[in-house]
Each structure stands twice: as C-alpha cells, then as structure tokens.
Structure 1
Amino acid sequence: MGLAGIPPPPKYARRALAVVWPVGAAAITGLATPVIVAGAFHSFVDKRARLFRVSVLGVGLVWVDVRMLLETWRLSLKNPHREGPEWEDDHEAVFLAGLNRAMILAKQWVGFEVKLDGRMHFGSETAPLVAFARHAGPGDSLALAWLLGHTAGRMPKIVLAEALRWDPTVDALLTRMRSYFVPSRTGAGDDRVAGVRELARGLKDDDVLLLFPEGQNFSQGRRRRLIDRLREAGHELRARRAISLWNVLPPKTRGVIAVLDERPDADVMIVAHAGFGQLTTPKEIWGAIPFTDRPFLVQTRTYAAGSIPDDAAGIETWLDDHWTEIDEWVTTVES
C-alpha cells in the first residue's frame, strides 16, 4: 500500500500525539534498554553488532525527534502570535540542527555516510532552486534534505506524504516551515498538485523545493506494477522506456510540470544517488549493517532557469531522459 494509502491522523489524534509522544519516547527507551543490553552481549556472536547498533540508533533518533518537538513548544511560547520573519527562521534552525544530529548518530552507529560524486552546483544566488531526486533506499529523504541544507546552503521545502503527520514532530515542524503534505489516496476530492504549486509559488531565493518524482521508494515489485499501469493507461511508449530502467521507477510528471510552470525562474537540480537502492526489505537492510563500506553516493546536475523545456510534453521527455541517465549511472556505480 505504501504511505500514500495511509490516511492522516484526525485533528484530535494529532493534538493527543503531540502531548503523549515524549511520554511514549520514555516508555520506548525503557523497553529498548534490555534489547540494547542483549545486543551488547550478542555482539560477541555477531561481530557486526547489528542488534546493538540498531537499538542504540533507534533510541537516539527517538530522542532527536522529541527534542525537536520540545523546541516547537518553546517557539510557540516565545511567539504566541506565530508571526513575523523569525517564526519560520527559528523553526528552520531547529530542523537543520535535528537533521545534523540524526546524521551524526547514523554515521556513528551504523556507518551511514553521505559522499559526493563530483562538485555540487547550487544555482544562482538570486533565484530559488528546485531539486528532483531519485527515491530509493532507507533514509534517502533525510540524507538529501540534510545535504541540501548544510552543503548547498538552501532551506529544504519538502513534498511528503500526509501519513507522516502521525509523527507529531514532522507534523508541527514541517507544517510551520511551509512544506507540503500530499493528501493520501483516501482523501477524495483533494487536488494533489495544487499544494505543490502553492509551495513552489512561495519559494524564496535561498530555498530549495525537494521533490521525488517517483513518489515512492524503488522496489522491483513497484517497478513492475507501474509499468503495467502505464500500459493500461495507454502510455505504451513510456512503458517501453520504463522497462529499460532497472534501478529507478518511471517518474511521475504532474508535480514536476506544476512546479516548473509555477516557477520558470527557478534553477533545477537533478539528484541521483547510489549505494542503497537495492536495500528494499528489512532483511536486506539488516544484512548490510554497518554501512562502512557502502557510502550514500550523491551526484547532482544543475540547470539554469530558462534552459529547460516549458511545455508539458517537453518536460516529460526531459525528465525521462534524466531518469535514464540516473539509471545508467547507478548501474555503473553499483556494478
């Protein structure tokens, strides 16, 4: 089903989750303590110490999440009217600090490390940036948001599934940062592109809109289903092209077209990454821990505003061409 099929929490649940989450985190920590101890002893058997690493990382990430939630409470008390330029700036600082803590923990405990393949070009300083990224492997959304925020010096504005509102920190923090939660498929009547347009419209010169055209993480099963849907919809040419893609899903174009139509002044970055795309099941992820010999390798290409097609058909072909290049690059890197 994926996140797109999970309905968001109702309003009363969102409010309740925000209150009980710190208590729940304490309970999770208590329950995880014997697992951590068992994992420490089990590391004498499993030299990769996977149970110990994952349990400690899990608890650490829970408290990173709670800390960010508590920061949103503090900011609400500091600015009860929730207005002024500092309101969004303060939340962006909390978000970047939380991402940094999470990435430090991931590197320390499971060897997750982001590395660049070539130089990043960040676009013009006087124009916003739009990033269309491959979606595959565990943690890629957080890693790319961290990379764009800390390396590119751009504040990520993220398009993400509304089901993620079940995390009260994500709900509070990213809502206040003007990210867009795509309505679930159960939300009848919602225009899933209108919010993307609104987000693109509000981009500032130091922002980057991070969009994943594939819409979901790569897996071979999803790849086959999407190819079948393209054929059923009569898009035989795109279906044939998708068959030649082994590492990526055929990109969806409605959101991309909407963003480029709304912000023709924005520079565009294509973001490819390799190293984790084939880790699509918990068993595969578990078997790869620690990731010390498997860097999260990122390659980017940036195009100036005005150099990209401005018609729907041209954008679709342009995006398909880049996804073919991403697929070929991933094959080369991972072979």
Structure 2
Amino acid sequence: MLPPRIIRRLILAPLVIVLTVVAVITLPLWLLVVAAASLHLPPPQRRGTRLVWFAVAWLALESMALFACLGLWVASGFGGWLHRDEHQERHYALIRWFLSKVYGVAVRIFRLSVEIDEPTPTSDELSRRLTRPVIVLSRHAGPGDSFLLVHHLLARYGRRPRIVMKAALQLDPSLDVVINRLPNAFVPRKTSESGVLGEIRRLASGMDADDALVIFPEGGNFTPRRRWRAILRLERKGLSEEAARARGLEHLMAPRPNGAIAAIEACPEADVIFVAHTGLDDLVTLGDVWHRLPMSAEIKAKWWRVQAAEVPRDRESQIRWLFDQWEEIDAWITANQPTSIPAS
C-alpha cells in the first residue's frame, strides 16, 4: 500500500531534492569509482559511467520539475484554480519540457536513434489532425516505450495524453504531483476490472479534439511466461478462436479487448491509432538495464490511424478487428528487429 499523499509530498519530494544535491556534489567520486570498477570489463560492458550520468541528470530534472510544480501551484491561487484550462496547459507544457530534456539526455548518453514510420498525410488528414480526439492502442514492452510514446504525443503531434497507470508510479515525486493535477488515473494493484474500465470510460468521455487516451491492451509488459498465461486464460474461458490467434503472436501477448472497447464506446467520435515499436523490448527492469544495456540502440516505431467511421461497433467485430491489428503489429516487429551493439 502506498503512503498517503501528504506523506509523499512531505517526505519523498524533499528527499529527491536532497539526493540531487548530494549526487551533484559527489558526482566526480561516483564516476571514478564506477570507472575503476569497470576496468576489467570489455568496453561494451562498461555501462556504469553512462548510468551514473543519466541518474544524476534524471534527479536534476526531477528537482527542477518539482520546483516548477511549486511555482505553478502558487500561481494557481495555491491550488484553487488548478483545473482551469490555462493552468492545465501550463502543466502539459511542463511535462513536454521535462520529457524533451530526458529524451535529449537519453539520446546522447545511450546513443539512441529513433525512427518513426507514419502515414504520409494528405491535405485532408492534416486538416483533421486536431479536429477530433484519438484513442492510442500500443504494445507494451517496458517503461521506455511508454516514455517515448507520451513524449511524441506531446512534442510531435501536439496532443494532451490521458493515461491509466499503476498506482505505484506515484512513488516518483514529480510524476505524482504533475499527473495527479491532470486528467489521468492511477489504479491500485488489486483494482477490479470494472474499476479500471470505469476510469477508462471517465477519461475517454471527457476528451476534446486535442486529447489522446493511451491504452496498452496487453495489460502489462511482454514476457514469454505472460504470453502463455494469456493464452491459457483464453482457453479456460472457452475462447478457442482467440487462443489460437494468440498462439500465432510471437512478440505480443493476446490483447485484452475490454479496455479498448470501453474507450471506443465512451468516445465514439475518436479515431483509433495503433502503435508498433521495437528496440527496448529487453529493458524492462533495472536489472535488465544493468545487464543488457547496449552501446547503442536503434528504436523503430510505426503507427497507423483508423478513422472513427471505420471502427467496428459491435463487440464481436471489435475483438476480431483488434486481433487483426495485433497480428499486423507482430508481423511488423518480426520484419523490423533493430540492430544494436550488444552489451556483452
């Protein structure tokens, strides 16, 4: 169970600022220690220095974001006007700034290259870019994909993302403060499916033309074990057709359709965007980052839009359609596995 919000504000947020000051002051020492400890390793495995630089940069940006949040809170009448449009926009601008800085640091330190394949827009497509809301359905393969997706929605497409997230993410102080001031949802681990669907409907039903609801239909990060558990779950429910199609997915878990369907029903005027990506698939936990972080990495992504008028409206057709799209994502990942300099 998470500590109460007041405890998180009074303890975790100041703790991040203290850690930032200590980390900056002792940075030369940490770099020397890590460099010395890595001398016996071949160059591809000397990832400790890069991780130290990134950790310090992250802490510094977190601290700046927290100070900015304090300023925005004061400017909003000590929190009284936070829900007004102008103050919401300032918080989206803060997230855009924070993610762009983290993205820039990650590209330089980890030598990332990002390639996004998107449809060439027609003049009609360009005119409709911000005339209707969108529901974004993406594969889930680690925290890196979520970060990049939200960053591009904000910076590249001018969207205001709405996300249903695990409540544990509120242990990150800046995320806790900013995201709780915007239309998002944190759900505790043991929340019932009806509770999660209720949050999805709430967020979807309130969307404007420049909003984007982000959903990960797999329900969690892909692992081979979770993939088989998803197949077995379908078999136990007697859904033999869906189970057979799930077996054909090599890189994805079977999509759970209820969240996507709930969003579509709550916002029928929304276009639906599907996102495929690959490149950070193996970096899910801190242990993965430490053991598998490559010298450089190529991240590829592809998205396509289904206009609202083309989205199926009955449940059975929606489930088949969702599996169709998931099979297309799986095939794209197979054809676009990136090359990288391995960690070992």
Give the TM-score normalised by the residue count of structure 1.
0.89
Tell me whether 1:153 sits opposite 2:152 in the alignment. no
Q: Distance in 1 between matches of 2:86 and 2:253?
A: 39
Residues 196, 33 of structure 1: alpha-carbon distance in 2 compared, 3 angstrom cutoff = farther
* 1:176-211, Cα deviation, whole Å (9 max, x unpaired): 1211223321x4697111111111112121121111
| Paired amino acid for 1:270 | F
Counterpart among 129, 133, 137 of residue 128 in structure 1: 133
Higher mean displacement: 273-282 or 226-235: 273-282
Confirm or deny: 8 A CA contact 2:16 2:62 kept in the other structure: no
Aligned pairs for 1:38-57 within 5 A: 38-41=33-36, 45-48=41-44, 49-57=46-54
Task: Say whether the 8 Å CA contact 2:234–2:243 is kept in structure 1.
Answer: yes
Cα contact 1:130–1:267 (8 A) shared by 2:
yes
Alpha-carbon distance in 1 for matches of 2:192, 2:3: 16
Partner deviation per Cα, 1:261-282 (whole Å, 9 max, x = no partner)? 0111111110000122244565
- Counterpart for residue 70 of structure 1: 67
In 2, Cα distance between the equivalents of 1:273 and 1:243? 20
**How much has 1:40 moved relative to structure 2?**
3.4
Once the two structures are superposed, the pairs formed by residues 317-328 of structure 1 within 5 Å of their partners are 317-328=320-331
Relative to structure 1, is the Cα distance of residues 65 and 321 closer, same or farther in structure 2, using a 3 angstrom cutoff?
same
Distance between the aligned counterparts of 1:310 and 1:12, measured in 2? 44
Quick check: 1:157–1:208 contact (8 Å CA) kept in 2? yes
Counterpart in 1 of 2:248?
Answer: 244
The answer for the alignment partner of 2:341 in structure 1 is none
Q: Which amino acid aligns with 1:14?
A: R
Give per-residue Cα distances to partners, 1:196-240, cap 9 Å, x unaligned: 111111212112111111121111121122222222232222122
**What TM-score do the two structures reach when normalised by structure 2?**
0.87
Paired residues, number:
327
Matches within 5 A, 1:115-194: 115-119=115-119, 124-185=129-190, 187=191, 191-194=195-198
SS in structure 2 of the partner of residue 331 of structure 1 = helix
Q: 1:18 offset after TM fit, Å?
A: 3.0
- State the Cα distance separating 1:289 from its structure 2 match: 3.1
Aligned partner of 1:300 in structure 2 is 303
- In the TM superposition, what is the alpha-carbon distance from 1:284 to its structure 2 partner? 5.0
Distance 1:29 1:252 in 2: 44
Work out the CA distance in 2 between the residues paired with 1:216 and 1:38: 36
Task: Give the secondary structure class of the aligned counterpart of 1:191.
Answer: helix
Note if contact 1:137-1:280 (Cα within 8 Å) is conserved in structure 2: yes
Where structure 2 has 5 or more consecutive residues not aligned to the other structure, the ranges are: 339-344
Q: Secondary structure at the match of 1:246?
A: coil
Q: Is the 8 A contact 2:283 2:293 kept in 1?
A: no
1:13 to 7, 20, 31: 7
The alignment yields a C-alpha RMSD, in angstroms, of 2.4
Residues 203, 133 of structure 1: CA spacing in aligned structure 2 closer, same or farther, 3 A cutoff?
Answer: same
Q: How does 1:166-315 map to 2 (within 5 A)?
A: 166-185=171-190, 187=191, 191-280=195-284, 285-286=289-290, 288-290=292-294, 292=296, 294-315=297-318
Match of 1:3? none
Go from structure 1 to structure 2 and tell me whether the alpha carbon gap of 1:95 and 1:184 turns closer, same or farther (over 3 Å shift). Answer: same
What is aligned with 1:114? 114
Moved over 6 A (4+): none
Q: Structure 1 unaligned runs (5+)?
A: 1-6
Cα displacement (A) at 1:119 = 3.6
Alignment-derived partner of residue 36 in structure 1:
31
> CA 1:116 to 1:216, structure 2 compared with 1: closer, same or farther past 3 Å?
same
**1: CA distance between counterparts of 2:193 and 2:325?**
32
**Alpha-carbon displacement from aligned partner over 1:39-73 (angstroms, at most 9, x marks no partner):** 33456554243110111111211222222122111
Contact in 2 for aligned 1:268/1:304 (Cα 8 Å): yes
Deviation at 1:320, TM superposition (A): 0.8
Q: Deviations over 1:292-332 (max 9, x none)?
A: 3x321010010111110012221111111101111111111
Match of 2:100 in 1: 100
Aligned-pair identity in percent equals 30
